[in-house]
Chain A
Amino acid sequence: DAGITQSPRHKVTETGTPVTLRCHQTENHRYMYWYRQDPGHGLRLIHYSYGVKDTDKGEVSDGYSVSRSKTEDFLLTLESATSSQTSVYFCAISDHSSEQFFGPGTRLTVL
């Protein structure tokens, strides 16, 4: 597996609380992505980064923010978690090729 880790791997939280998920890579890849995976929807892009401090929105960015202060770390923040954000979150990385490498996923439950 490419050097991608996600933390935490599992989290249960309550509606209205802030949550931050971390993606860490050791591959020095330029691009990083956050997806959510939901039954019937497949993988949907939340946000992505094309360099340190360079980020942009994906197709389902409402309610999420990201930050990338270092090449190796890409943080996803839910400012005020809602039950609709219960999902499995995957981080991915890519260099200048078209292939993406995925992290192990974080299972988030919002009660």
Chain B
Amino acid sequence: AQRVTQPEKLLSVFKGAPVELKCNYSYSGSPELFWYVQYSRQRLQLLLRHISRESIKGFTADLNKGETSFHLKKPFAQEEDSAMYYCALYTGTASKLTFGTGTRLQVTL
């Protein structure tokens, strides 16, 4: 069965510090992974997906199949990055996604 693990419930960093939000997955098929972001009391929105290999708002994520990881990184955190971040795995059935438990990123001055 597929599973997504986000080991950190809360990650607190200072403004300007590097950020790394961890995501590990288990899936027997060929994985397609996403990061979704939820700002305070707003709807979830797609941040990035591994197949597009793009950088959104300075965030990047590389799929490492050997380590089954898809960590989200940003070199310099900004206050507006404070949000809840969810890693998600696409299983290819009815476009279903399996979500991790989420990591709250808190960027402080």
Interface centre among B45, B95, B99, by most chain A C-beta atoms within 10 angstroms, is B95
6 pairs across A/B with beta carbons < 8 Å?
A1-B43, A42-B101, A90-B44, A98-B92, A99-B49, A100-B95
With A40-B9, A42-B86, A42-B102 already in contact, the answer to whether A100 and B43 are too (CB < 8 A) is: no
Contact digits for A51-91, partner B, Cβ 8 Å, 1 yes 0 no: 00000101000000000000000000000000000000010
Q: Counting CB contacts under 8 A, is A7 at the interface?
A: no
B101 touches A41 (CB 8 A): yes
Within 8 A of A (CB), among B66-108: 86, 90, 92, 94-102
Number of chain B residues whose Cβ lies closer than 8 Å to a Cβ of chain A: 22
Q: Counting CB contacts under 8 A, is B25 at the interface?
A: no
Q: When chains A and B are docked, how far (Å) is the Cα of A50 from the Cα of B6? A: 28
Cβ–Cβ < 8 Å partners of B95 in chain A: 31, 94-98, 100
A contact set with B: CB distance below 8 Å: 1, 31, 33, 35, 40-45, 48, 50, 56, 58, 90, 92, 94-105
Q: When chains A and B are docked, how far (Å) is the Cα of A35 from the Cα of B88? A: 13
B contact set with A: CB distance below 8 Å: 6, 9, 32, 34, 42-46, 49, 86, 90, 92, 94-102
A48 touches B43 (CB 8 A): no
Q: When chains A and B are docked, how far (Å) is the Cα of A90 from the Cα of B97? A: 13
Per DSSP, chain B at the interface is loop
Give B95's nearest chain A residue, CB to CB.
A94
Cβ–Cβ < 8 Å partners of B43 in chain A: 1, 90, 102-105
Cβ–Cβ < 8 Å partners of A99 in chain B: 34, 46, 49
Cβ–Cβ < 8 Å partners of A41 in chain B: 101
With A48-B94, A99-B49 already in contact, the answer to whether A42 and B44 are too (CB < 8 A) is: no
Whole-angstrom distance from the CB of A65 to the nearest CB of chain B? Answer: 18
Interface centre among B34, B43, B100, by most chain A C-beta atoms within 10 angstroms, is B43
Q: When chains A and B are docked, how far (Å) is the Cα of A102 from the Cα of B88? A: 14
Whole-angstrom distance from the CB of A27 to the nearest CB of chain B? Answer: 13
